Amino acid sequence: MNFKQSELTQQVAQTAKDFALQYIKPHLMEWDESQEFPLHIFKEMGKLGLMGVFVPEEYGGSGMGYFEYNVAIQEIAKVCGSIGLSLAAHNSLCTGHILAFGNDEQKKKYLPQLATAEYLGAWGLTEANTGSDAGNMKTTAVKDGDDWVLNGTKCWITHGKSGDVAVVVCRTGEPRAKDNSTAFVVERGTPGFSAGKKENKLGMRASETAEMIFDNCRIPDANRLGNVGAGFKQSMKVLDGGRISIAALSLGIAKGAYEASLQYAQERHQFDQPIANFQGISFKLADMATEIAAAELLINQACYLKMNGLPMTKEAAMAKYYASEVAVKVSTDAVQIFGGYGYTKDFPVEKFYRDSKLCTIGEGTSEIQKLVISREVLR
């Protein structure tokens, strides 16, 4: 495996870095405090091709791969995890699901607008009582002539309120039965489709998280993605790629916290010398650097396998599990290095600390990742 960055990957990283520093950094705490979802930022990223990374050029996208996607999310997340999270959810979940399982007509209808961020995407699997237990979901889709009628509520949905297009996985069979769910595309404005409660969160506060409610929402069979009953299997494949997204998000947060700590430890003086000279601090920095490097290798391995069409369920789960735990540990140590200043909003690490925790929960908890990994190694 050769992980040397191509010229294209380097260009994408620099573009994302420059954008984050110019357009996101000056406003990130304002958005965090007010929980404002800065939709205009995603429109601007659409112009740069960052909202349709995987979408082929024939559908108006950038036609790039996972290495480019990985560095784009990292560079955004090094500045703001919230924007990185929304970038990831739009690309890998909603857009990725349609790209992977939509027919040509559906791709032509939705991908060009998603790739440019004319449409913002949402993806609905999780429910209040069926997070990891997706096979027991309560949201149903019932066939009625040439239509489907959707009823139920999805929660913890990124862009659940502002998303223009949502891919929604509904139960079309009996609870816990095999192949009992189906995926559909639902457009905002469809009668019976509305937004519910917007969550008030610990971190990732500028990334919108809200309920999606379906009340006798009628959609045509043309909005069905793939075969009836294939929704859960599709979702698991989508989440394999999504785990790379969250791993990249985690790594970006960890790198942001580490770089801030490295600079602070060399500038902050105690006992007439930089605190970086003290072993208690320097060893923390050593651990941070080592864990970040290990997480990056796991992510690159998953990207390589994904790009070469090789099995990567285990590797994606490993990358997501390890990188997300590293993000929490590194940001925790960053707060410790900053001391009292790290606990204030005048310095960046408290936000990395708050944002990092979501990475161990979203798109499959750390415990679920260990379940996936253990099943793969015990086959």
Contacts for 189 with CB less than 8 Å, ≥ 6 apart: none
Contact 237, 93 (CB under 8 A): no
Contacts for 73 with CB less than 8 Å, ≥ 6 apart: 84, 87, 88, 245, 248, 249, 252
- Three-class DSSP category at 152: strand
Q: Where in the sequence numbering do the catalytic residues fall? A: 363
CB-based contacts of 131-134 (< 8 A; 24+ apart in sequence): 131/156, 132/364, 132/365, 132/368, 134/169, 134/181, 134/232, 134/235
CA distance 144 to 219: 10
Helices (H), 308-348: 313-338
3-class secondary structure for 264-294? HHHHCEECCEEHHHCHHHHHHHHHHHHHHHH
Write out the two tokens for 133: 């237990």
CA distance 219 to 187: 9
